[in-house]
């Protein structure tokens, strides 16, 4: 089942758009894949380090402290009424 696509999507892409294996040997393609894999692994590692739980712990502690403080203030205000 084929749906009609808008004209802007039906245009052909430039021949130099994206990655192409044209004219590359198997070794060159393998090397490109290996480089991409290493780059992606480095990116994932950097993201994991940025969002490590121990780095988020101080922010979580401050948030929890503020939540508890706000609950205590509400309780104190209710008692005064």
Whole-prediction pTM value?
A: 0.43
What are the boundaries of each domain within the chain? 26-80
Distances (CA, A) of 31 to 17, 23, 28, 34, 73: 20, 14, 5, 5, 62
pLDDT of 69 higher than 70:
yes
pLDDT of 36 higher than 70:
yes
Q: How far apart are CA 2 and CA 5, in angstroms?
A: 9
Residue scoring higher pLDDT (7 or 71): 71
Lowest mean pLDDT among 8-17, 22-31, 53-62: 8-17
Q: How far apart are CA 54 and CA 79, in angstroms?
A: 38
């Amino acid at each position: 089942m084929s749906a009609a696509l808008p004209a802007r999507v039906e245009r052909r892409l430039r021949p130099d758009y994206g990655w192409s294996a044209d004219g590359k040997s198997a070794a060159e393609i393998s090397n490109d894949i290996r480089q991409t894999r290493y780059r992606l692994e480095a990116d994932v590692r950097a993201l994991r380090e940025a969002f490590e739980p121990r780095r988020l712990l101080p922010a979580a502690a401050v948030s929890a402290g503020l939540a508890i403080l706000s609950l205590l203030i509400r309780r104190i205000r209710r008692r005064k009424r």
